[in-house]
Structure 1
Amino acid sequence: MSRTPDQPRLTPQFCFNQTALRDSLRISRGAVDDTINQNLNALVTPSSTPFDPTSTAERQPRPAGRRAIDATSCSGFKDRVLFPSWQVRSDVLSYCAGVATSPDPDDPDHVLRQVEDVRARERIVNERLDPYSGRYFPREARTESLAALLRNEMMVEKIIRSRTWSLVGERCENEDRDFEKATDAWRTRRGGSR
C-alpha cells in the first residue's frame, strides 16, 4: 500500500517557485491517485479463499483483477492513505491561493514593471506609421501568475479526484457518490474541518 507523501514546508517562496509547487503536487498524485489500481489490488488478499477447480467451468461475473475488496480494508485505505493525501494537496493549494491573493511586497519585478509602465505612457504612438506602436503588454505580477497556475491545478485536482473516486467506487462500496462529500465526512470524523 502507498505511503502518503509528506506535506512540504509552506512558505510564500515555496508557492512562488512554480516548479517546486507543481512537482510537489505531481509527486503526491503519482504516489496515490495515478497508481490507484495498484493500491487497490494490494488490499486484496490473494489466498483468502482456497482455489476451487470447478470455478474454471463457469464464467466469473467480475474479472479477477476487479474483485470487490472487503469494507475494512477499503475504509482503512481511504482513511489512512487516500483522504490524507488529498488533504495535503488541498492544504498546499489553499495556502498558495492565500499567497496569490495577498499583497506581495517582496516582488523582485515590481520596480521593473513600474518603469515599463512609465515608458509605455510616455511613448509617442503613431499608428499610421506603425500600426503596432499602440500595443503594450504589461508584465504579469508573480501573484497573478501564481493565481493562474493555481486555477489550473485546482481543475486538474478535481478531475483526478473524480476519476480516483470512481475507481475506488468500483472496488469498494462507497457510501457517498461524491468525493467532496466523502472527504468532508472524513474531516468531520477526524475532529474538525480544515
Structure 2
Amino acid sequence: MAQPPNAPELTPQFCFNTVALRDFLRISRSSIDDSITQNLNALFTPSSTGFDPSSTTIRTPRSRRIPASSCNTFKNKVLFPSWQVRSDVLSYCANVATSPDPDDPEAVQRQAEEMKDRERMVDERLDPYSARFFPTEARTERLAALIRQERGVEGIVRARSWGLVSERCGDEGRDWEAALGEWRKGEERSSVLEKS
C-alpha cells in the first residue's frame, strides 16, 4: 500500500516557490490518487481463503468488494491523511497569498512601472492600443491564482478517487467532502482524548 509523502515545512518561501509547491502536490497526488486503482487492488487479497482451482474456470467481475476493515484502514491511514496534508498546504499558501508581502522583490519595479504609466502621454488616434498598460502582477496575486487553480484540480482528483473508493468499498451515498469531514471529526475527538 502506498504511503503519502511527508508534509513540507510550511513557510512563505515554500509557497512562493511555485515549483516546489506544484512538485509536492504532484507527487502527493501521483502516489495516492493517480494510482488509486492499484492501491485498492493491493487491498484485495483473494488468496486469504486459499487457492481454489475451479476459480480459474469462471471470470470474476473486476469490481469486487474489498473487505471493510482493509478499506477503512486505507481511508483512515493513507487516503484522508494525504488529502488533509494537501488541504493544509493549500490553506496555508492561500493565507500567504492574501497577506501583505513586505519582502516582495518586485515591488520597486512595479512602483516604477506605475509611475511611468502615469507620466505617459497617450494619443489613441495615432495608436488605439497605446492606452493599454499591463502592470507586473504581484507575487501574491500569482500565488492566489495558482492556489485557485490547484484547489480546482484537487476537487476533481478527489471526486474521481472517491468514486473508485466508494465503488470498491461499498461506501456509496456520501460524497468525498462528507467522508473527509467525518474523518476530521474523528481525528479531532481522538486528539482530544489523547490530551486528557
* Alignment TM-score > 0.5, same fold: yes
The residue aligned with 1:39 is: 39
- Between the aligned partners of 2:86 and 2:93, the Cα distance in structure 1 is 11
Question: 1:48: Cα distance to partner?
Answer: 1.6
Q: Does 1:74 align with 2:71?
A: yes
- Which portions of structure 1, spanning 4 or more consecutive aligned residues, are displaced by more than 2 angstroms? 49-60
In structure 1, distance between residues paired with 2:50 and 2:64: 15
Is 1:178 paired with 2:175?
Answer: yes
Match of 1:116 in 2: 113
Alignment match, 1:160: 157
Aligned residues: 189
- Secondary structure, counterpart of 1:191 in structure 2: helix
Contact 1:176-1:182 at 8 Å conserved across structures: no
- Aligned-partner residue type, residue 78 of structure 1: K
What residue in structure 1 maps to residue 128 of structure 2?
Answer: 131
* Whole-angstrom distance in 1 between the partners of 2:172 and 2:185: 15
CA distance in 2, matches of 1:34, 1:151: 21
TM-score in terms of structure 2 length? 0.91
Match of 2:22, as an amino acid? Answer: R
Task: Return the match for 2:166 from 152, 165, 169.
Answer: 169
Equivalent position of 1:14 in the other structure: 14
1:143-158 map, 5 Å? 143-158=140-155
Aligned-pair RMSD on alpha carbons? 1.4
* Partner Cα distance (2:133, 2:21) in 1: 30
TM-score, length-scaled by structure 1: 0.92
Provide Cα deviations, 1:32-53, integer angstroms capped at 9, x if missing partner: 0001011111111131233434
Post-superposition CA distance 1:95-124 (Å, at most 9, x none):
000000000000011111011001001011
The C-alpha deviation readout for 1:20-79, integer Å capped at 9, x for no partner, is 10000000001100010111111111312334344455554x23xx32110000000000
In structure 2, the residue matched to 1:188 is 185
Query: Structure 2 vs 1, CA of residues 175 and 131 (structure 1 numbering), >3 Å: closer, same or farther?
Result: closer
Partner of 2:3: 3
* Greater share of helix: 2
Quote the Cα distance in structure 1 between the aligned partners of 2:56 and 2:20.
51
1:101 aligns with 2:98: yes
Q: 1:4 corresponds to which letter in structure 2?
A: P
- Which amino acid in 2 is paired with 1:25? L
CA distance in 1 between partners of 2:12 and 2:67 (Å): 43
User: Unaligned stretches of 5+ in structure 1?
Assistant: none
Q: Which runs of 5+ in 2 are unaligned?
A: 190-196
SS of match in other structure, 1:48: helix
d(CA) in 2 for partners of 1:59 and 1:15?
A: 50
Evaluate the alpha carbon distance shift between residue 75 and residue 175 of structure 1 in structure 2; reply closer, same or farther with a 3 A threshold: farther
